[in-house]
Amino acid sequence: MGIVTERDIARMIGFSAKFFADMNVSEIMSKPLITVTPNTSVKDAVALMDQKNIRRLPVVDYKGQMAGIITGKDIFKAVLNIFKENMKDQDLKSEGFDLLGLIGTE
C-alpha cells in the first residue's frame, strides 16, 4: 500500500523526464504507507507526522480498512478552534498562553 500526494507528483514532474499522466500510481506513490488507528492520540499523530515529515496520515481500523485521513490542516483547524474558545474571554495580549500545551506537545 501507498499514497499519492501532490508532493509525489511534483517530485516526479520536477526530477524525472519519464513522468507521464498515464503512469500507474504504484510508480509514483509514497510507500510504505504510514498509518494510525482511530484510537491514536492527536499528540502521537502530530509526533509521527513530524518525525516522518508527512502532512497526511491515513486512519485505518483494526481490519486495516481505511476509516479516514488526518492532515496537518485538520490539526491546525482544531488547535485554532481551541485557541479561539480559550481566548474568548481573555485579553489576546495576555502572556503565558501555551498554544502547544493545548494539544499536549512539549
Kindly report, residue by residue over 37-62, the tens digit of the pLDDT.
999 998 899 999 999 999 899 999 99
- Give residue for cell 510507500: 31
Domains of the chain plus CATH, in order, are 1-33 (no CATH), 34-106 (3.10.580.10)
pLDDT tens digits for 71-93?
989 988 888 888 888 777 665 55
Predicted local confidence at residue 6, as pLDDT = 78
At residue 1, the pLDDT reads 80
Stated pTM of the model: 0.68
pLDDT band at 28 (very low <50, low <70, confident <90, very high): confident
Contact partners, residue 43, CB within 8 Å, separation at least 6? 103, 104, 105
In sequence order, which residues have a C-beta less than 8 Å from that of residue 67 and are 6 or more positions away? 38, 59, 60, 61
CA dihedral sign of residues 6, 9, 10, 11: positive
pLDDT tier at 12, thresholds 50, 70, 90: confident
Cβ(49)–Cβ(59) below 8 Å: no
Amino acid identity, position 105? T
